[in-house]
Structure 1
Amino acid sequence: MVSEVELKLDVDADAANAIEQSPWLGGAPRSINQRSTYFDTPDRALKAAGLSLRVREADGVWTQTIKADDDRAAGLFARPEWEREVPDGRPVLDDATPIVGLIGDKVDQVAKQFEIQVERRLWLVDWKGASIEVAIDRGEVVAGERSARISELELELQTGSRAALFDFARRLHEIGPVRPGIASKAERGYRLSDAAPNAVKAQSITLTADMTAADAFRAIVKACVRHFRLNEDLLKANRHADALHQARVALRRLRSAFAIFKALAVGDQSDRLREELRWLAYELGEARNLDVLLAAIDAGPMRDDVARAREAQYDRVEAVLASARARRLLLDLVQWIDDGAWLDRKKNREARSIPARLFAERALARFRRKVKKGGRDLVRVDDETRHDVRKDAKKLRYACEFFVGLFDGERERRRYKKFVAALETLQDQLGALNDAATIPVVLDRLGLSGAAGVDKNPPIRSDLILAAADAYEDVVDTKRFWA
């Protein structure tokens, strides 16, 4: 078993060509044609166990590889893998692999699921004291009757520092646009086998009792980056409102993580990342407002005007996501969380080393107090105060979702479900109030104030406020699931 340190980057065909022709790769590459067949059971038992199994043929040699993929990682992977030569294209599954122990009798059901053919070009680059293997993969994934092109760049650190690895990635970014990769080839094949989703919701995050607060922060940020990148790709492909919404949710979760872990996220670089995340969230916000407005408008000329404005705003979103600033933000974030100065600062040394569960208990209690204090007399406070309560309730909910894996007792799980359900109701009511306040502002900005066509039976504002106050009381009365 070996451990890789690898930076996976998504590139389009033009960027891959430009990078290959640059002087930084240092001469002619070594070229390998690879044909990889991926295996699983019909009910995807290996995928459910977090494993991928492939048999790859290159130059007449068959190599079996089992990888423990971290579905929550983004860009940088440190993953175990089991590799051996096999006689032919069929896998050899015995006690030398983890598969038999994980799926038991189902091992007899393991069969081909999809195939990936790529031309891999390899260079070995010396960069600032590091030895980096550069691989550009071009090819195709085939699952039954469906197929999709592959264009990827992988930087694998052989020796040297991770800082040098990222520095080299930035140099390549100057030549052609690159983004942190979030999908292994196995994931690409599985997705091709399934119906393409309109959007991807946040996945659960694996936190364990032996983690420190720093470990938890790193896992959470990587999961949020992955959530964003999955929906960024879908948004570019389908312009679906759900993909935009989930991309914004991912950014909100990232920003909440910085607030939750504020004792750890110290220094100028973390401040800059927070501001850049705020900028990107803002840029996506107007398109989301127009999606909300469209859902409230009847068919007719006014809806057509809003639809045109929506398409123009999505054009802007697409341009923002394609910008060097947005791409640089993601690279900086992936590097910072894994190798940033926050990991070595004296100021946050104690906070970094706190057991993750103890940190979670304190953070959850802190945000619950903020919601409890801000929501008192919710009927009589002003809109700004209610908006602040909404933001604090979101942070508390995200904290609950981030940390739930640390509270896995039966009673803790029951209480978690009730607590989060009460929070969701409060968010829904406060969100409806926010939408009701936002729609007139957006109409005015479009020059459509007073026009006919908006939902003629919108929720009554006073009813929404009363419902939000009731939901607040439920949150306060619901038992905590943490200590």
Structure 2
Amino acid sequence: MSGDDHPDDAGDAVARSLDAIADQLDATLGLAVLDQPDGVHAHRKAVRRLRSTLAAYRPFFDADTVRRLHRTYRDWGRELGEARDLEVRIAVAERFLDDDDDDAAGARMLDELRTAYRDAHRAVARRGVSVEARDRRADLAAFLDAPPRTAKASRRTKRGVRRRIVKEGDRVLRRAAAATSGPGDDVALHELRKAARRLRYAVESVTRPPVGLFGAKADALAVSAEQIHDLLGDVRDLLAFARAYEAAGGVSDGPAARAKVEAAEKLDELPAAVDDLRSALAQFR
């Protein structure tokens, strides 16, 4: 990559952003392995940022190489996800359950979640320092040392990158149309959440240092994508708590009911969030 302040072309801009993400992976791995506060979350987010950036800008690099690297970090991300999802479920349960109440179902559920988290984190700690982890990082380093560029990587920086971001934005809107066409389609909502996350990271990877392209319009697009992602993540977590609490024998008109009401209220916010993204994308085009 060029040592100049500005990227040479679209491929150089993305390669620089991937270099920065690799630094984030290195900085957060130890925190995750040692179970430091927010450590698993921070490292998982770095993994997601890497995979989202690779996916969004894959036309700039050799498809098979990107596919292999994306798949390798997908498997690691899933292991991190098991631990992180349990962390979130514990936090949600603690918010809805009152320790002073005689709630045997809630206490039992929390005990099971905490035990499951300890087991999941032990797996993260083992795999985070394994030979597989070393090889995974070496594969990423090899990619970054000599990015396998395609002809599309040579497009003018802003024009080439903008085109990819717009395609990701349109993808989110298509997922939104599918998710809002019928009530309670969990699969469609999940696909929308993933698409919004990918758009967010695709934008952030090229608008933050060391790349720093675009400006306020791109920032607004990333914020609107994050809003959809976070909103649907909250809905998923609330409903997961409600289902687990009821399965543990909790009363249906207690904490589970409150969680379901909150989830419904958040889901009601989705159309407005999608409208925000649509407007932000129109301004960015």
Q: Specify if TM > 0.5.
A: yes
Residue in 2 that maps onto 1:232: 29
Residue in 2 that maps onto 1:430: 232
**How far apart are the structure 2 equivalents of 1:282 and 1:234?**
17
**How far apart are the structure 1 equivalents of 2:140 and 2:28?**
17
| Structure 2 contact 92–237 (Cα < 8 Å) conserved | no
Residue in 2 that maps onto 1:286: 82
Distance 1:289 1:324, change over 3 A: same
Deviation, structure 1 residue 327: 1.4
Higher relative contact order, chain-length normalized (CA < 8 Å, sep 6+): 2
Residue in 1 that maps onto 2:142: 335
**How far apart are the structure 2 equivalents of 1:459 and 1:359?**
43
Amino acid at match of 1:353: S
Amino acid at match of 2:47: L
Deviation, structure 1 residue 320: 1.0
Residue in 2 that maps onto 1:314: 121
Deviation, structure 1 residue 267: 4.5
Residue in 1 that maps onto 2:10: 213
Deviation, structure 1 residue 473: 1.4
Deviation, structure 1 residue 422: 2.5
**How far apart are the structure 2 equivalents of 1:361 and 1:254?**
18
**How far apart are the structure 1 equivalents of 2:11 and 2:281?**
28
Instruction: Say which SS state the counterpart of residue 259 (structure 2) adopts.
Output: coil
Q: For residues 360-392 of structure 1, what are the alpha-carbon distances to aligned partners after superposition, in whole Å with 9 as ceiling and x for unaligned?
A: 110111011111222126433322112111111
**How far apart are the structure 1 equivalents of 2:255 and 2:26?**
34
Q: Is 1:369 matched up with 2:207?
A: no
Residue in 2 that maps onto 1:198: none
More helix by share: 2
Residue in 1 that maps onto 2:57: 261
Uncovered stretches (5+) of structure 2, i.e. residues with no partner: 100-106
Deviation, structure 1 residue 336: 1.5
**How far apart are the structure 2 equivalents of 1:478 and 1:267?**
30
Deviation, structure 1 residue 480: 4.7
**How far apart are the structure 2 equivalents of 1:272 and 1:210?**
26
Q: For residues 181-203 of structure 1, what are the alpha-carbon distances to aligned partners after superposition, in whole Å with 9 as ceiling and x for unaligned?
A: xxxxxxxxxxxxxxxxxxxxxxx
More strand by share: 1
Uncovered stretches (5+) of structure 1, i.e. residues with no partner: 1-76, 80-206
**How far apart are the structure 2 equivalents of 1:440 and 1:230?**
35
Distance 1:240 1:469, change over 3 A: farther
Amino acid at match of 2:18: V
| Structure 1 contact 386–430 (Cα < 8 Å) conserved | yes
Residue in 2 that maps onto 1:452: 250
Residue in 2 that maps onto 1:110: none
| Structure 2 contact 58–66 (Cα < 8 Å) conserved | no
**How far apart are the structure 2 equivalents of 1:265 and 1:397?**
20
The list of structure 1 runs, each at least 4 consecutive aligned residues, that deviate by more than 6 angstroms after superposition, is none
Equivalent pairs: percent with the same residue? 23
| Structure 1 contact 209–406 (Cα < 8 Å) conserved | no
Instruction: Say which SS state the counterpart of residue 375 (structure 1) adopts.
Output: helix
Greater alpha carbon shift after TM alignment, 278-287 vs 460-469: 460-469
Instruction: Say which SS state the counterpart of residue 211 (structure 1) adopts.
Output: coil
Residue in 1 that maps onto 2:102: none
Residue in 1 that maps onto 2:276: 474
Q: Is 1:326 matched up with 2:118?
A: no
Amino acid at match of 1:427: H
Residue in 2 that maps onto 1:3: none
| Structure 1 contact 221–337 (Cα < 8 Å) conserved | yes
Amino acid at match of 2:68: R
Deviation, structure 1 residue 431: 1.1
Deviation, structure 1 residue 439: 4.1
Deviation, structure 1 residue 403: 2.2
Distance 1:466 1:234, change over 3 A: same
**How far apart are the structure 2 equivalents of 1:481 and 1:208?**
27
Deviation, structure 1 residue 471: 0.9
| Structure 1 contact 276–329 (Cα < 8 Å) conserved | yes
**How far apart are the structure 1 equivalents of 2:249 and 2:198?**
36
Aligned length in residues:
264
Residue in 1 that maps onto 2:202: 399
Q: For residues 210-243 of structure 1, what are the alpha-carbon distances to aligned partners after superposition, in whole Å with 9 as ceiling and x for unaligned?
A: 4212212221212112112211111233x13511
Distance 1:481 1:233, change over 3 A: farther
